Structure 1
């Protein structure tokens, strides 16, 4: 009969054989990482992004079109939207119009108004 290895300091090993480093943090709520918009604009843009990403969770192109149409109607064109996973960005934007947020755990959305 084999002896079990002693538990690491601090308690029992994590369930499922995963180490603490292997676990991911998944946010199910909207997480705004960068925003320089006024408060009123910020809340409306966040609602539009969450609606678009929930409605078209598996089609980022349709989600970005819905968000862009909403922003163009409410705040005037030209807005740029990128919805997806695992990308970086460097953009030139109109001051007071940039937002980067995550929704649904791993879906990132950046929106900005072109100068």
Structure 2
């Protein structure tokens, strides 16, 4: 019985992996947020092996749709502190641990 208790204590906590887009923070309008989220999902699925290519595609499309000066970071382990135009920030996760930050200066 003591062995069972020790085994239960040694088990690591289970990771929660989200297979859907999870928005952590956004101050975009609902319409803009939905369009951006769809673009991010498309880019991340298309370029699943290259975060750089996904970020480039997202940036180019955002610049075409909403004007220049968008910045995009796609990756797994990063932190950020940015200055941005109000109503132009989206921070989300996709496919579990892939984080995406989009902002306009």
* TM-score for the superposition, normalised by structure 2: 0.90
Q: Tell me the secondary structure at the aligned position of residue 7 of structure 1.
A: helix
Partner of 2:99 in structure 1?
A: 108
Aligned-residue CA RMSD (Å): 1.8
Larger Rg: 1
Q: How far apart in 1 are the matches of 2:61 and 2:11?
A: 43
Which residue among 24, 41, 55 is the counterpart of 1:50? 41
Gaps of 5+ in 1: none
Partner of 1:77 in structure 2?
A: 68
Cα distance, 1:7 vs structure 2: 3.5
Bigger RCO (CA 8 Å, 6+ sep): 2
Partner of 1:19 in structure 2?
A: 11
Partner of 2:32 in structure 1?
A: 41
Cα distance, 1:20 vs structure 2: 4.6
Q: How far apart in 1 are the matches of 2:49 and 2:75?
A: 10
Gaps of 5+ in 2: none
Partner of 1:87 in structure 2?
A: 78
Task: List per-residue Cα deviations over 1:4-63 (Å, max 9, x = no partner).
Answer: 64534xxx94xxxx6152x21111110000100000000000001111111111101100
